Amino acid sequence: MAKWDINTVRNIGISAHIDSGKTTLSERILFYGGRIHAIHEVKGKDGVGATMDSMDLEREKGITIQSAATQVTWKDHTINLIDTPGHVDFTIEVERSLRVLDGAILVLCGVAGVQSQSITVDRQMKRYSVPRLAFVNKLDRQGANPFRVKDALLEKLKLNAFMAQIPIGLEDGHKGVVDLITMKAFVFEGANGEIINEIPVPADLLESAQEHRKILIEKCADVDDAIAEKFLMEEEPTIDELHAAIRKGVISLKMCPVFCGSAFKNKGVQLLLDAVLKYLPTPAEKKEFALDLNKNEEKLELVPDSNKPLCALAFKLQETQFGQLTYMRVYQGKMSKGDFITNTSTGKAVKVPRLVRMHSDKMEDIETSFSGDIVAVFGIDCASGDTFTKDDYNVSMQSMHVPDAVISLAVSPKDKAGANNFSKALQKFRKEDPTFRVHRDEESAETIISGMGELHLEVYIERMKREFNCEVIAGQPQVAYRETIGQEAEYDYTHKKQTGGSGQFAKTIGKVEPLPSDATETFVFENRVVGGRIPREFIPAVEEGFREQCAKGPLIGFPIVGIKVYLDDGSYHDVDSSYMAFKICAMAAMRQAYERAKPSVLEPLMKLETSVPEEYQGPATGQINQRRGIILGTDSNEGYAIITAEVPLSEMFGYSTDLRSATKGKGEFSMEFSRYSVAPRNVQEELAKKYQEKRAKENS
């Protein structure tokens, strides 16, 4: 292996809305980087499927479900590449990949442009401060227009986007691109686009190229003083100056250059790889911090130096036939096979039995991984988001954002013999995916799985059948409702119990009130007791009692959120008061106050984006209205109507079938969680009635 040089390393991800061509682009990158020797398509007729879609399910459905990692070499540089899913149900895969990457390519469809999932991915990139390049793909498709996509990046995503290339021809006539920095034109020929011919800029594109180049120089002048000076003096900046300014702008998140091409037709990919090397940061250029556990979680900047103490983050787990595979990003120090490393979450030291470099589902053994690398380790038991260190270096990386589940299903194995495999599968999936949650409903004795959407849970049920030979019976999907309060209410409750021996006594007085709608917490407790009216050791018991009571509301049995509890006063007994007495008292006080606080049910609303041919706009809008949807806006794009709406999740089951039949299979939609909102009165009453009937049945 060549000597590890961190300045020739790039850790990048490919992210986009579903069906924008991420996996197709990844396949080309692997081909041009010499990783594979033949190109396979996502839904190819050869039945092989794209390299990065290694699961059978991915190949059947033609979508990416799990993020896949690989490494390619391009012009003496090492690129660690992660291909991420586009479907919103697998958003955690994008989230955890972006958490550990230094840069990303945001892929956009040349026809559809910025779509709902592009907005979500952009939000995730901003959350982790990931510099990005935009690649407008599918320019061979009818109606493709990269300039319109660039405008959408400016308007919808508020990115400082500008053309770094313009296309030579569109649709059937798409041949190549003009590089606006060097003012050279390139056409891609050969069966796999591997022959790149440099030609003069076509005469019909010269004016447009000069116009867009002027905008590019203006943008560079905003981040570079030397170029700004030349711009004012009407002098021409050098090519090297422009490259340096764009690199500076991209890394500081102030710029987003737009590149063009068609991955499917093998056009523009090599120049995009050149841009990755030129403009995206090395691991040494992206600041990363850990929390120093010895110094009260003080922020500590990590230095990507292989001679410093090790700090590595386990960002993804995968079960394989050889055991648990843990993907790790090495931020500082180095890790070798046979090393003892410490999990700072558990304090346990473990030996690294096997270190591998991943290539989708294939792997090669390596001896050592250095700062800035992404590798995988076998045989280490840990959770997603754990930090590993060496030599008493006690730090922890901040973990990633994990969204709440929006949908649940009651599941059980079809036959008793499968019970063992069923619990094994649930355990494995839960470890692999933080958005996949499992709990047991004590009242109904059912196993409930929760996730990000119908497809998310459907995939796991299918995986149980294939990977664990366990057929599953699934109940009706259950929406994750919440309960809340609408007004302030006071409580004054005394808990007394006297039955032989020591009794129980506790008294609590205070009030509950709704939290503001923009509050980030769901429950806040404030102790305002003075003068020792309640001894300090019993205050946590009161908070625990209120919290426990909020876990399951009395209206429909779902958690109570958006509530602030004040404890103002109370009293205790020297002998009869105890931790348990105050906890029971608080639980009863919460029930008392809740009834008076105008309780209501909250339902999850989804942001829905439906795309249909214009002639079907009427029926599609009608369907959304029937499902209690509120239309937020409509847009038209090359004969397609794009309807954006907010719809309750409870009304969305079976929508894909209805949409397909109303549009003769031409309608598409994507959906993601938007917010919780108070459900209409009739819906609340219906849910409350069902809950009471269920309770009565269980108690009879």
Q: Can you tell me the distance from the alpha carbon of 666 to that of 615, in angstroms, rounded to the nearest whole number?
A: 11
pLDDT for the residue 489: 94
The yes-or-no verdict on residue 499 having pLDDT over 90 is no
Q: Mean of the pLDDT values across residues 74-82?
A: 86
Give yes or no for a contact between 341 and 349, defined as CB atoms under 8 angstroms apart: yes
The yes-or-no verdict on residue 58 having pLDDT over 60 is no
* 118 against 147, higher pLDDT: 147
Share of the chain above pLDDT 70, in %: 91
- Structural tokens at position 496: 């007394």
The yes-or-no verdict on residue 61 having pLDDT over 70 is no
Local confidence band at 254 (pLDDT 50, 70, 90 cut-offs): very high
Q: Mean of the pLDDT values across residues 580-585?
A: 94
Q: Which of 349-353, 357-361, 537-541 has the highest mean pLDDT?
A: 537-541
- Please give the distance of CA 667 from its chain centroid, rounded to a whole number: 25
> Could you report the per-residue pLDDT of 473-490, keeping only the tens digit for each?
888 777 889 999 999 999
pLDDT for the residue 45: 42
Share of the chain above pLDDT 90, in %: 34
| Lowest-pLDDT choice from 46-60, 186-200, 596-610 | 46-60
Residue 181 parent element (H or E): none
The yes-or-no verdict on residue 627 having pLDDT over 80 is yes
The yes-or-no verdict on residue 28 having pLDDT over 60 is yes
pLDDT for the residue 612: 86
> Could you report the per-residue pLDDT of 363-417, keeping only the tens digit for each?
788 889 888 888 889 888 887 788 899 878 888 887 667 777 777 788 888 888 7
The yes-or-no verdict on residue 560 having pLDDT over 80 is yes
CA dihedral 572→576→580→585, nearest 10 degrees, is: -50
Q: What is the 3-state secondary structure (H, E, C) of 635-667?
A: EEECCEEEEEEEEEHHHCCCHHHHHHHHCCCCC
Give yes or no for a contact between 74 and 379, defined as CB atoms under 8 angstroms apart: no
Q: What is the DSSP secondary-structure string of 250-301? A: HHTTS-EEEEE-BTTTTBSHHHHHHHHHHHSPPGGGS--EEEEGGGTTEEEE
Q: Can you tell me the distance from the alpha carbon of 90 to that of 235, in angstroms, rounded to the nearest whole number?
A: 49
Give yes or no for a contact between 193 and 269, defined as CB atoms under 8 angstroms apart: yes
Q: Mean of the pLDDT values across residues 101-109?
A: 90
Local confidence band at 89 (pLDDT 50, 70, 90 cut-offs): low
pLDDT for the residue 260: 93
Q: Mean of the pLDDT values across residues 180-190?
A: 91
pLDDT for the residue 34: 77
pLDDT for the residue 400: 65
pLDDT for the residue 2: 52
Local confidence band at 588 (pLDDT 50, 70, 90 cut-offs): very high
| Lowest-pLDDT choice from 409-418, 437-446, 462-471, 628-637 | 437-446
Cα–Cα nearest to 492, from 363, 557, 585? 585
Q: Mean of the pLDDT values across residues 606-614?
A: 87
The yes-or-no verdict on residue 86 having pLDDT over 60 is no
| Lowest-pLDDT choice from 191-205, 252-266, 411-425, 443-457 | 443-457
The yes-or-no verdict on residue 154 having pLDDT over 80 is yes
- Structural tokens at position 209: 């190229």
The yes-or-no verdict on residue 575 having pLDDT over 90 is no
> Could you report the per-residue pLDDT of 671-683, keeping only the tens digit for each?
778 889 999 999 9
Q: Can you tell me the distance from the alpha carbon of 545 to that of 553, in angstroms, rounded to the nearest whole number?
A: 13
The yes-or-no verdict on residue 96 having pLDDT over 80 is no
pLDDT for the residue 68: 65
The yes-or-no verdict on residue 699 having pLDDT over 80 is no
Q: Which residues of 535-557 are buried (b: 16+ CB within 10 A; e: fewer)?
A: eeebbebbbbbbbebbeebbbbb
Local confidence band at 66 (pLDDT 50, 70, 90 cut-offs): low
Burial (0-12, 13-18, 19+ Cβ within 10 Å), 195: exposed
Local confidence band at 46 (pLDDT 50, 70, 90 cut-offs): very low
Residue with structure tokens 């116009």? 211
Give residues with Cβ within 8 angstroms of 572, minimum separation 6.
Answer: 505, 506, 507, 533, 534, 535, 538, 582
Burial (0-12, 13-18, 19+ Cβ within 10 Å), 47: exposed
Give yes or no for a contact between 179 and 185, defined as CB atoms under 8 angstroms apart: yes
> Could you report the per-residue pLDDT of 263-314, keeping only the tens digit for each?
888 899 999 999 999 999 998 888 888 888 888 878 888 888 888 899 998 8
| Mean pLDDT (the chain, rounded) | 85
The yes-or-no verdict on residue 547 having pLDDT over 90 is yes
The yes-or-no verdict on residue 664 having pLDDT over 80 is no
> Could you report the per-residue pLDDT of 203-251, keeping only the tens digit for each?
999 999 999 999 999 999 998 888 888 888 888 889 999 999 999 999 9
Q: What is the DSSP secondary-structure string of 537-563? A: GGHHHHHHHHHHHHTS-TTTSS-B-SE
pLDDT for the residue 647: 93
pLDDT for the residue 127: 82
